[in-house]
Amino acid sequence: MSGGFLPVSAQEMKERGWDCVDFVYVSGDAYVDHPSFGHAIITRLLEAHGYRVGMIAQPDWRDPESIAVFGPPRLAFLVSAGNMDSMVNHYYVSRKPRKGDAYTPGGVSGRRPDRAAIVYSRLIRERYGQIPIVLGGIEASLRRLAHYDYWSDSLKRSVLLDSKADLISYGMGEKSILEIAEALDCGIDIRDLHFIPGTVYGTGDLSGLPDVLLLPSYEEMKKEKARYADSFRIQYENTDPFTGRTLAEPYPDGVYVVQNPPQPPLTMQEMDDIYALPYQREYHPSYEKEGGVPAVGEIRFSLVSSRGCFGGCSFCALTFHQGRIVQARSQESILAEAERMTKDPAFKGYIHDVGGPTANFRAPSCGKQLKSGVCRRRQCLFPQPCPNLTADHSDYLALLRRIRALPGVKKVFIRSGIRFDYLLADSDDTFFRELVEHHVSGQLKVAPEHISDAVLEKMGKPSHAVYEAFVRKYERLNERLHKKQFLVPYLMSSHPGSSMKEAVELAEYVRDIGYMPQQVQDFYPTPSTLSTVMYFTGIDPRNGKKVSVCRNPHEKAMQRALIQYRDPKNHGLVREALQAAGRTDLIGYGERCLIRPEPKEGRAAGDTGRGRSPSVKSAKGGGARGLEKTPQEKRQRKKRTIRNIHSKKKKG
């Protein structure tokens, strides 16, 4: 046996006195027994309910014997691609292969296949025939019905059909997996498990479903993209466990893929019980010789306080996976985990994060959500905070204070993201002040994403004025507390609604605040997001209106380069983008220009060639952020000044 880890070999299974296992969990990730990994939660939960579980991590998909480690399980194979969609894990938005994989020993790539959920499931079918197979994890969850696949640029069928699996457990899956296990253990055939919330199954007969809502057929959606937008809107309006209806998607030959309504949210006690399971909180020791699993470094000293998100960003799939109802652990549960961290020999006194999808969400957005569910056609924060929103940070603040007070804890950081519009909606500034005073490591990362309100509307984000109000308040608090801390804004290029015009506006904003982003997120169309539907169909599913979409890879590269216009390697793309946008006024020597002209271009029109451009003379001496220089530019200017002084002395 390998300590407290679940068995990973037949030998370890026998050492436990087992002749077989009830479930075999096949994962695209390395085996990490930590609650930040879905496979750890599901396998420990099954173990806690008396089931014997064997783990096969990253099997060789070219060899059917690689999934025969334990022989056939008594009840079922459980299959997951891992903590990430395997295609996102493998490829950049440019579709070029990534060089590494943080979820693999040594960080090497190539240990899992493309479309891992499909490949693993077919491998099991090849080896074991009609043995029950249940898909789970984010890849299967977000591909549970027909979906746009960016990597093949096509509309794909439900992953249930392409994988030949029997069932999908979508969402976080704790409740549904226990119901599936109990039903199988009672002898119910997996082909008859049509009654479990949070699952998707295939059938040829809808007669027993009185409240089923029929979606557009797969063939209809292939012929007319607008029908896919219609389908997604219906799905989006039925993601709530209280009001969601059963959905059926027709396929040729009389086949239907049926999605049952989601499972109800976990109670606080259920969350506490899950995080109290006997995780080893480490990767399997067999990976030590390969250098361990890099992803563990990110979560080893981080605390999950909640799940779910009512933020409603269009480019985020959380609505489809974790849901909009926030579920939280108790303060006592989180404190107990923090105390265990402080006893780890590797702990240096710094807790890297206390949060979830959105760190400062610790409760449902309003009192009715746990009774009646979320609103079908209304967001909690967008376009403005709902009048029923409860903006209250008192519980989160109390939690952070208690963690800070633990012996051995020097600093508690918040890195999983602050929703700044929710922060401003709170009339009590105590949390904001303590955030600035205690929980920022020199830089606070926030996600305004863009500055164009037209683009922000498509993103489901608040107007730019809200972010500016947040910036002013953050700066005032830092000044009051005598701190020099900065904001690091996350920005996104080429999101639906962003043309070259909006991309240039964003570049000008970056110039005006004197900021040079090291990282920029080029919009990545991933399955089951509103933004991805806009990208594929050119239609906003929320209202049926047309949306301008940047699909050309070269144009996407230009939009991205504009945000990082100071990088010399981007100058060619930036010049091309400015010419395409009719903004050659931004090519020149003036302080407001983004790049210098090529030698053959000469001076830009209206450019004096020395000092300031006439268009910005009025800003002289005003301290405008638009006139600030990067540290590199300041150093270069200082060197030029020194050289000029020396040159004049020599001539004298």
Q: What is the pLDDT of residues 262-287, one digit of tens each?
A: 999 999 999 999 999 999 999 999 99
Instruction: Indicate the pLDDT class of residue 626, thresholds 50, 70 and 90.
Output: very low
Is position 637 within any domain? no
Same domain, 48 and 185: yes
With cut-offs at 50, 70 and 90, classify the pLDDT of residue 568.
very high
Q: Which of 147, 178, 199 is the last residue of a domain?
A: 199
Tell me the C-alpha to C-alpha distance, in Å, between residue 109 and each of 26, 90, 101: 18, 8, 5
Angle between helices 571-580 and 553-563 (to 10 degrees): 110
Task: Show the 3-state SS of 298-317.
Answer: HHCCEEECEECCCCCCCCCC
Asked whether the CA dihedral 110, 116, 122, 128 is positive or negative, the reply is positive
Order across the sheet with 521-522: list the strands. Answer: 443-449, 486-493, 521-522
| Bridge partners, 431 (sequence order) | none
Is 74 contained in some domain? yes
Mean pLDDT of the chain: 92
Residue 642 burial (CB < 10 Å; 0-12/13-18/19+)? Answer: exposed
- Is 322 a domain residue? yes
Q: Taking residues 90-107, what's their average pLDDT?
A: 96
- Tell me: do 311 and 189 sit in the same domain: no
Q: pLDDT digit string (tens) for 155-184?
A: 999 999 999 999 999 999 999 999 999 999
The yes-or-no verdict on residue 646 having pLDDT over 60 is: no
**Residue 55: both structure tokens together:** 């783990």
- What CATH number does the domain containing 61 carry? 3.40.50.2300
- Predicted confidence at residue 106, as pLDDT, reads 97
Per-residue model confidence as pLDDT tens digits over 395-415: 999 999 999 999 999 999 998
Strands (E), 430-504: 443-449, 486-493
In the block, residue with structure tokens 């500034």? 429
- Please give the pLDDT value at position 191: 95
* CATH number of residue 378's parent domain: 3.30.750.210
User: Is residue 43 included in any domain, yes or no?
Assistant: yes
Whole-number pLDDT of residue 621 = 32
Task: Name the percent of the chain lying above pLDDT 70.
Answer: 91
pLDDT at 620: 30
**SS3 state at 32:** strand
In a domain, 474, yes or no: no
Number of domains the chain is built from: 2
- Judge whether 567 lies within some domain: no
Q: Are residues 160 and 44 in the same domain?
A: yes
pLDDT score of 632:
52
pLDDT band at 639 (very low <50, low <70, confident <90, very high): low
Q: Which of 417, 432, 461 is the last residue of a domain?
A: 417
Domain-located, residue 598: no
Same domain, 164 and 28: yes
Q: Is residue 15 included in any domain, yes or no?
A: yes
Strands (E), 99-236: 133-136, 147-149, 154-156, 167-169, 199-203, 213-214
- Give the residue-averaged pLDDT of 334-350: 96
When pLDDT is averaged across residues 57-79 and rounded to a whole number, the result is 96
Say how far apart CA 247 and CA 213 lie, in whole Å: 5
- Mean pLDDT for 610-633 is 37
Is the distance from CB of 140 to CB of 121 less than 8 angstroms? no
The pLDDT value recorded for residue 304 is 96
* Structure confidence by residue, pLDDT tens digits, 582-614: 999 999 999 999 999 987 655 444 443 333 333
**pLDDT category, 624, cuts 50, 70, 90?**
very low
Banded model confidence at residue 481, pLDDT cuts 50, 70, 90: very high
178, 327: one domain: no
Q: pLDDT tens for residues 494-521?
A: 999 999 999 999 999 999 999 888 888 9
Range of the domain at 83: 10-199
If asked whether residues 32 and 148 sit together in one domain, one would say yes
Domain boundary pick from 140, 170, 199: 199
Supply the pLDDT for residue 644.
57
Same structural domain, 324 and 192: no
